[in-house]
Amino acid sequence: MNDKVNAELERLCEKSALSKAALLRKLIMSEPIKERPNADFIKLTAEINSIGINFNQLVYKAHTVGYVTDEDLRATRAAFELILKKMHEWEKTWR
């Protein structure tokens, strides 16, 4: 391998967070090489997961108690709106 090819291989390994061996296997098998998610995406995913858990708890409460309070609904709606806002902000950075 010449220096130019090796530099490109290193660059792809860095972008994808794959080892050289894993990257070469994917290339040989014609599998797609994906960039690793950035820190903002990982943080957003964690926040969405947290809101999903809260939403599931709210649904559970509605089913067991038979109702949810206006405060519960407002808090859940605010959390969803925050996530949508963050998703739109994040989208601007990767377009």
DSSP 66: S
**Residue range of the domain that includes 73:** 39-94
**Cβ proximity of 68 and 61 under 8 Å:** yes
pTM for the model stands at 0.53
C-alpha–C-alpha distance, residues 93 and 95, integer Å: 6
pLDDT for res 25: 95
Q: What is the mean pLDDT of each run of 10 residues along the chain (95 residues)?
A: 90 91 93 84 84 87 88 87 83 66
Number of domains in the chain: 2
Residues 31 and 43 in one domain: no
Q: What is the pLDDT of residue 72?
A: 86
Same domain, 89 and 43: yes
